Structure 1
Amino acid sequence: MGFNCVRLTWATEMFTNKAYANLTVAQSLERWNLVAASFGMSLNNPDLMNKTLIETQKTVIDALGHENLMVILDNHVSFPIWCCDWNDGNGFFKDLHFHPVEWVQGLSTVAKLYKGNPTVVAISLRNELRGPRQNEFDWYQFMEEGATAVHLENVDVLVIVSGLSFETDLTFLRQRKLNFGVNVNNKLVYEAHWYAFADPPEKWIFSTNEFCAEITEWFMSQTGYVIYERSPTPIFLSEFGKDQNGASEAENRYFICVMALLADKDLEWALWAMQGSYYLREGQVEWEEPYGMYSFAWDKIRNSSILQLMELNQQMIQDPTSEYASYYAMYHPQTGRCVSVNKNNVTTSSCHRLQRWGFEYDENGSRITLVGTSGCLTVVADKAPVKVTGDCSSQKSTWKFVSKSKMHLAARDEKGMDLCLEWDSLNSTIVTNKCLCLGDDLGDLPWCSQNPQTQWFKLILTNKHY
């Protein structure tokens, strides 16, 4: 599927409570009367049945390493239950199941266990801190204790730190930075989560341009801003995702918005989730995971179009060690494809090999040039394919961002009408058309019934070389 890393969750008590630490896989499945799962495990992975849960985790990690995959070990919960609820006792330090001393012990044990194992590249201190007890004072104290504990046992792993409110709030770092000392500071990564759960669905469906702009600004102001600080710190979007069955149009549009941001900022990320189903979840046997890459039976990919949507974002877009000059790729996030030129036809194709575009944005409008030529992108007519021509000084080749999403690129035709780039699904070419959902087409209605994402294009700065 093109992924290079697995964010593997673990519970503190698996390492601190002998009732779990000494449990074998067979005993664990038997405890919950998971007959079908036990049969399948015995058939397909018989060597695991008599291993302890910890030994099995090591076996899984070794198998991933054998396939050249990296592992991030994420301390997901303390008491092993489904995560995450506001009042589940696992949310914040000193909660019913979240004892700071035991938590530090678990981090130390795990860090030591995988010392020298190159597959394990990072340890995330805690997933989705939350609940009525959360406060900044305890956050600073215990995050420093946890990071120190990991570093003392394993100097090689990155230390990943989450904020408050289900990993959506790092704003307090503006007033006081974390300071672990230079050795740990140099391998510190913050993490954030971004789902559409709390968003009003009608915002995504009827105000797609505006809401994508608003929610992207919110994400960057709450967490993403750390990459722009005077002493910038990497940030890892360690969870996002959608119902891959396509049941939610709001989530479909949210997902495209996230894809655009990830490409624009070249952020690291992990998609929730890989698993297509669970042996047991919240008391229900054989629970399907609609957000999973795999189908219910794990025998095929649930929705292959997701792979195309993520194609560009699975690549390194900005290589800080590259000696090659930067250029722009033109990305269409709704399809996951990139704009290219083939015999003067402007079309979309795979993002594995990028067409080089030149672009110097000016509020009064800018040319989009084809690097290595004297040609630039030019409007021909309403509903007609856009072309690369030598006419680079007229209004037909002067492009502006005309929506709040900053993804509508428009130029004026000979009649003075603004026309936006648009993906033509019939033949995968790029045409120009009336700009969707910008306000002038709404009349007295406060919403837009059309999906403007066919007209979303993102100019992505890259130095990817072939």
Structure 2
Amino acid sequence: MKLNLLTLLPLAAAAMQTVKAAATPLRRDDWPHGPFHTEGNQIKNANGEPVILVGTNWPGSGETMIPEGIEFRSIADIVSMMKYVGYNFVRHTYPIQMVDQIYENNGTDITVQSALLYALGEDNGTRIMEMINKNNPQITNSTTRFEVLSMIAEEEKKQGMLMHLDNHISRAIWCCSHDDGNAWFDDVDFNVENWHRGHSYMANWAKKHSNIVSMSLRNELRKSALRPLDYNWQTWWGNVSAAAENIHATNPDLLITISGLDYDIDLSALTTQANLLDAPYVNTDMDKIANAESMPPQYADIANTKFGKANKAVLELHAYKMSTYYQDHLEDCDAIQTGLYRFGFNALGESARPEACNNSTDFADPYSCPSAKITLPTLLTEFGDAQDSSYANVTMQKCLRDFTTKNKIGWAHWALAGSYRIRQNVVFNNDTWGLTTPTWSGYQSQDTVDNFFRPWIQDMGKTNLEL
């Protein structure tokens, strides 16, 4: 066919439009606009907008391995309670044992009924199964645990919340202590191979739900009191980096949150890129590495990992009144905030440096604030206290609110659950730290919700997770 100039002009214009379209990333209009990635100290969605996470923890890592509270309220009602507060992020705790049981059962998940009977016995298990079915008729004797988790994920998506998968523990029990068998890699119940297998299973399962954009490696690593294991920065980084690479290989869309030592208080060796063989540490229980002074230095070189290069690494820290360091500075807001900075929030950069910082290089100085050598988003994924009218006057809670608000730090309060169907061998164990009442019928402190958490979330500004 012979083409003249008039024929070629529209073809050329169309070709230019095609090139332009290919060079311009498509805007994601479907909430939550994933997958997410990191850029500097921010988490960003697929449209390049910074995302701010504000939320709570929904425990599901106890003996039944089913999220708490659904025996008292419908899933939709519980999610609506979180929505009222303003949450957009829910950290769901789970045990590796839940996945182990699937492999032991020829790849088939355990039913909710079987899980309840196994954990609680015939009488209590049957009773709670009936309560769950009454409030959630879609959950029957044949419904599995992961089917329930999917129901929750879909309801959270419907109401504008992300589900974050947090590997809280290996054997399903109340967490955490030095002697629970779940403390450190290769502890009595902490099988590292099963841990990786569990991560892979969860990362694959997450592909079913677009509001799962992140998952954690492990909650509150700590020294084991049951086995003489190498509790140090070197062992930590070897295991953490391998686990993160495994998750990234399974589901490269996910952000991966990395926790530190001593119940996730300290990530300083990573953020300052200190020599892992002799880096300082918040506590005094670290195992020394023999002949470390004669060995070449080792670093947590996160920038050269595959997940790091893909901009999928996020740090997470905890802060409680009973935590090492913080327990000695409960009424000193300056020391609380300099501690947060020193132990890992320095990864946000100099803009997050508290005014109370001095120029000391002594790690033991509470006002010492070493600068980070890496920049990464850092979240406060656990903190809390008794839910009563005095919550807003607790110095530590006020300081955490101030620090996160000023620096737009994502956070998740501990915890949603006002009761546990079983905890430390007590059936229907109530928890004064929970957001809900023991029967999940309301909030333990409406005053705290209305005059502390809701204004705090409003002060965080636009989150780019609004529906």
TM-score tier, shorter chain, comes to: 0.5 to 0.7
CA distance, structure 2, for counterparts of residue 280 and residue 256 of structure 1? 32
Q: Deviation of residue 107 (structure 1)?
A: 0.4
1:22 aligns with 2:70: no
- 1:200/1:146 Cα in 2 relative to 1: closer, same or farther (>3 Å)? closer
SS state of the match for residue 421, structure 2? strand
Cross-structure match for 2:381: 238
* Matched residue type, 2:88: N
CA distance, structure 2, for counterparts of residue 57 and residue 196 of structure 1? 31
Cross-structure match for 2:338: 217
**Residue deviations 1:71-127, cap 9 Å, x none?**
110000011111001121111111111111111111011101112521101001100
In structure 1, the gaps of 5 or more residues are 322-466
SS state of the match for residue 232, structure 1? coil
* Sequence identity percentage: 26
* Matched residue type, 1:13: Q
1:13 aligns with 2:87: no
CA distance, structure 2, for counterparts of residue 234 and residue 36 of structure 1? 44
Greater helix share, 1 or 2? 2
Q: Deviation of residue 143 (structure 1)?
A: 1.2
Deviates more, 1:195-204 or 1:64-73: 195-204
Cross-structure match for 1:306: 448
Contact in 2 for aligned 1:148/1:180 (Cα 8 Å): no
CA distance, structure 1, for counterparts of residue 87 and residue 400 of structure 2? 17
SS state of the match for residue 214, structure 2? strand
SS state of the match for residue 71, structure 1? strand
Q: Deviation of residue 298 (structure 1)?
A: 0.6
- 1:180/1:290 Cα in 2 relative to 1: closer, same or farther (>3 Å)? farther
Among 123, 136, 143, the residue aligned to 1:45: 136
Cα RMSD between the aligned structures? 2.5
Among 283, 294, 303, the residue aligned to 2:436: 294
Cross-structure match for 1:168: 265
Contact in 1 for aligned 2:167/2:219 (Cα 8 Å): yes
- 1:179/1:202 Cα in 2 relative to 1: closer, same or farther (>3 Å)? closer
CA distance, structure 1, for counterparts of residue 249 and residue 133 of structure 2? 39
Contact in 2 for aligned 1:26/1:38 (Cα 8 Å): yes
1:81 aligns with 2:173: yes
Contact in 2 for aligned 1:114/1:120 (Cα 8 Å): yes
* Matched residue type, 1:44: N
1:138 aligns with 2:235: yes
- 1:26/1:183 Cα in 2 relative to 1: closer, same or farther (>3 Å)? closer
CA distance, structure 2, for counterparts of residue 151 and residue 135 of structure 1? 24
1:195 aligns with 2:320: yes
Cross-structure match for 1:326: none
SS state of the match for residue 387, structure 2? coil
Tell me which of the two structures has the higher relative contact order, counting C-alpha pairs closer than 8 angstroms and 6 or more residues apart: 2
- 1:99/1:202 Cα in 2 relative to 1: closer, same or farther (>3 Å)? closer
Q: Deviation of residue 168 (structure 1)?
A: 0.5
* Matched residue type, 2:146: I
CA distance, structure 2, for counterparts of residue 304 and residue 291 of structure 1? 13
- 1:320/1:27 Cα in 2 relative to 1: closer, same or farther (>3 Å)? closer
Contact in 1 for aligned 2:418/2:434 (Cα 8 Å): yes
Contact in 2 for aligned 1:94/1:100 (Cα 8 Å): yes
Cross-structure match for 1:257: 399
1:68 aligns with 2:160: yes
* Matched residue type, 2:445: N
- 1:15/1:200 Cα in 2 relative to 1: closer, same or farther (>3 Å)? closer
CA distance, structure 1, for counterparts of residue 312 and residue 112 of structure 2? 34
Among 244, 250, 265, the residue aligned to 1:153: 250
* Matched residue type, 2:418: G
Q: Deviation of residue 61 (structure 1)?
A: 1.4
CA distance, structure 1, for counterparts of residue 326 and residue 240 of structure 2? 33
SS state of the match for residue 311, structure 1? helix
CA distance, structure 1, for counterparts of residue 154 and residue 391 of structure 2? 37
SS state of the match for residue 183, structure 2? coil
SS state of the match for residue 65, structure 1? helix
TM-score by length of 1: 0.63
Contact in 2 for aligned 1:241/1:272 (Cα 8 Å): yes
Q: Deviation of residue 317 (structure 1)?
A: 4.1
Cross-structure match for 2:305: 181
CA distance, structure 1, for counterparts of residue 204 and residue 452 of structure 2? 38
Q: Deviation of residue 240 (structure 1)?
A: 0.4
Q: Deviation of residue 226 (structure 1)?
A: 1.4
SS state of the match for residue 166, structure 1? helix
**Who wins on radius of gyration, i.e. which is larger?**
1
Q: Deviation of residue 319 (structure 1)?
A: 6.9
SS state of the match for residue 258, structure 2? strand
- 1:248/1:158 Cα in 2 relative to 1: closer, same or farther (>3 Å)? closer
* Matched residue type, 2:394: N
Deviates more, 1:72-81 or 1:256-265: 256-265
Cross-structure match for 2:411: 269
